[in-house]
């Protein structure tokens, strides 16, 4: 069975509590459990969250050379600032889909730019927690 790794960056551990008017009231534990349930029997979902840039880079490296079929990455605010995470995505072989629960294109100007978008295979934003399942579907593609 294919394995898809979901990586969440800073502050996403507070989903459900943090700015619920933007990110909703579901906790990240619940969101990930729903993704696991949705893909039961079709994909193994693994999950990693860190508030630290270097830890996210280490996890990308560890999953980046054939150990998983694809990576779903919500880099949080690092999306807009981290050339180091962009370089890590460029360095690895595993395809990465960028996700954002909010519609970053409709928010403050700094959130409209992504340093990681050019090195990801695609971006899904603005559909709330559903972005995680949409990205897993995109990565599974015709293998599903």
Q: Which residues are catalytic?
A: 23, 100
According to the binding rule CB under 6 A, does residue 74 interact with ligand DQA?
yes
Structure tokens at 64: 């980046």
* Of 111, 127, 134, 138, the one binding ligand DQA by CB under 6 A: 111
- Is residue 70 classed as helix, strand or coil in its secondary structure? strand
Min CB(74)–ligand DQA separation in Å: 5
According to the binding rule CB under 6 A, does residue 11 interact with ligand DQA?
yes
DSSP strand E in 37-121: where? 44-49, 70-74, 96-100
According to the binding rule CB under 6 A, does residue 101 interact with ligand DQA?
yes
Structure tokens at 109: 């100007």
**Which string of DSSP letters, residue by residue, matches 103-128?**
-GGGS-GGGG--SSGGGSSEEEESST
Q: Give the Cα-Cα-Cα angle 58, 63, 69 (nearest 5 degrees).
A: 155
Distances in Å between the Cα of 23 and the Cα atoms of 7, 58, 82 are: 17, 27, 22
**Which CB atom, from 64 or from 76, has the smaller least distance to ligand DQA?**
76
According to the binding rule CB under 6 A, does residue 116 interact with ligand DQA?
no
Min CB(30)–ligand DQA separation in Å: 15
Min CB(123)–ligand DQA separation in Å: 11
According to the binding rule CB under 6 A, does residue 82 interact with ligand DQA?
no
The answer to whether 60 and 89 have CB atoms below 8 angstroms apart is: yes
According to the binding rule CB under 6 A, does residue 55 interact with ligand DQA?
no
Residues that bind ligand DQA in the complex, under the rule CB under 6 A: 11, 74, 76-77, 79, 100-102, 104, 111
């Amino acid at each position: 069975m294919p394995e898809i790794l979901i990586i969440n960056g800073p502050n996403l551990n507070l989903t459900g509590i943090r700015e619920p008017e933007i990110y909703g009231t579901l906790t990240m534990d619940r969101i990930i459990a729903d993704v696991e349930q949705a893909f039961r029997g079709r994909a193994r979902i693994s999950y990693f969250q860190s508030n630290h840039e270097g830890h996210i880079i280490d996890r990308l490296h560890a999953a980046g050379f054939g150990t998983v079929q694809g990576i779903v990455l919500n880099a949080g605010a690092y999306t807009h600032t981290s050339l180091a995470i962009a370089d890590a995505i460029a360095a690895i072989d595993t395809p990465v889909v960028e996700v954002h629960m909010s519609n970053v294109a409709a928010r403050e100007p700094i959130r409209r730019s992504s340093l990681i978008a050019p090195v990801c295979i695609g971006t899904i934003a603005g559909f709330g927690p559903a972005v995680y399942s949409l990205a897993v579907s995109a990565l599974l593609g015709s293998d599903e």
